[in-house]
Copies of this chain bind each other. A is one copy, B any other.
Amino acid sequence: MAISIDRRVNGQRLRTLLGTWQRPGPAYQALADGLRALTRSGALPLGTRLPGERETADALGVSRTTATAAYDLLRDEGFLVSRRGSGTVTTLPPGSRDRAPASLGTTDDALVDLTAAAPAAPPQLAAACAAALDQLPRHLAGAGYAPLGLPALRSAIAERYTRRGVPTTPDQVLVTTGAQQAIHLLTSSLAGPGDRVVVEHPTYPHAIDAVRGAGARAVPVPVTLAGTDLDLLDSTVRQTSPRVAYLVPDHHNPTGTSLSAEGRARVRELARRTRTVVVGDETLSDLTLDGPQPAPFAGDGTADRHVVSVGSASKSFWGGLRVGWVRAHPDLVGALAQRRAHVDIATSVLDQLVTVELLACAEDVLAQRRRDMRAQRDALLAMLAYDLPEWQVPVPAGGLSTWVDLGRPVATALSALAHGHGVRVAPGTAFGVGGTFDDHLRVPFSQPVDALRHAVDGLAAAWAVLAGAPAGRVGAAQPALV
């Protein structure tokens, strides 16, 4: 069909994406579960053409009957459609179309959604909206387009950097439609087809997508629980001459690690020496739960030709406000603003005015948010320790999630099973390239404790099925430990 976007996977790629999909029980059901989970999570985008049943069987080492039965089941359920001349392509059943196609925090009441690590709005939001409406009339006589951002918001953001020790003027600030747009604009402006972009590995999935969307290649540098490997970052940047390096310096998503003060200084020096643009995504920087607030990624702010900071209202305030920003040299700010003109022209005036109000009371909002997230984190860790003692669950000092080591490469299978137990969760493979991290699961604690309780119950029940153990004990309600 002319409208289908030309995407195919071959058998080998499918095997990589599926990871360890096998589990006790009928193989065709396990395979169908894996394929369904890949479709629901967006790892297999809608409209992707799957290999033929014979190729799939060969690649996965199963019988052709198994592959055919799995495809038939998914066709019956509406997850696959076969069209003459176009093969078999992924789709969604009509009833599930309103669900998010990727990790985007939907509100299907029957499910606890752990795919997004994003909290509810703070109680101060309503007052901030009311105050923003008072400011709105000043703007209504104009066309409403401020491609660089409203001057009041650019000033407020610049002042916040300055107060944190990074002297900043408004012309160093571009307001974007969320941090995601900042990442998209930076990667698509600075990198093109064939270019390399260094990313931490694992990392934020939509950053990998943005790099690929620009036609560039994501070059991974490992992050362990000890943090980003800075020696490898250094040698990778020098050997591969990337156009950009994308880092999450504070409460790294998903591992929860942070760069030390020395590590930050070293990264800035690397950027300066190699003239590589290093982007520090500080979306989670306000959410330090233990210990002192980390120092700003930009240092003293003087290296702004090579050290770029990205910030956002999504996690500090609310994701429904689509407001983010870039702190960079004014030349780069201008170039990004020109590019955005053909991406979305400008950011919502109303959302910008609300963000100005929230920045004015940010310390109050954030103090309460940190208290809430600390309580939710501690509750989640206690539940996991009790119900899933085999899992290795680190204690993140900030951010919104923990990066669980499952001990074996079953995250994709677990994610597929969990759906049937009332939980949507992204397998570790979503955070890596090439199907890695199937032995990890990112578990957010951004939801209230009762939702976390349901989520852990569902994960424990799915884990029991996966382990072949009787599901009874785990499915029974446990006393809440908070």
Q: For window 307-327 of chain A, which residues contact chain B by CB distance below 8 Å?
A: 314, 318-322
* Assembly stoichiometry (copies): 2
Given A142-B105, A320-B350; A275-B345 close (CB under 8 Å): no
Closest to A447 in B: B143
The 4 A-B pairs of least Cβ separation, nearest first, read: A144-B320, A105-B143, A209-B342, A320-B349
Q: Count chain A residues whose beta carbon lies closer than 8 angstroms to a beta carbon of B.
A: 98
Provide the bound-state CA to CA distance between A113 and B142, in Å: 10
Among B92, B130, B180, the residue within 8 A (CB) of A334 is: B92
Provide the bound-state CA to CA distance between A144 and B348, in Å: 15
Q: Which residues of A contact B (CB under 8 A)?
A: 1-5, 42, 45-47, 91-92, 94, 97-98, 100-107, 113, 116, 118-121, 125-126, 129-130, 133, 136-137, 139-148, 151, 170-171, 177-178, 180-181, 184, 188-190, 193, 206-207, 209-210, 213, 215, 275-277, 305-306, 314, 318-322, 328-335, 337-339, 341-351, 354, 446
A320 touches B348 (CB 8 A): yes
A345 touches B322 (CB 8 A): yes
Provide the bound-state CA to CA distance between A132 and B133, in Å: 11
Among B2, B92, B276, B331, the residue within 8 A (CB) of A46 is: B331
Given A350-B354, A351-B351; A337-B101 close (CB under 8 Å): yes
A120 touches B140 (CB 8 A): yes
B321 touches A144 (CB 8 A): yes
A335 touches B129 (CB 8 A): no
Closest to A329 in B: B3
Given contacts A2-B305, A42-B341, A46-B335, could you give 6 more A-B pairs where the C-beta distance is less than 8 Å? A2-B276, A100-B147, A103-B341, A121-B141, A125-B136, A320-B348
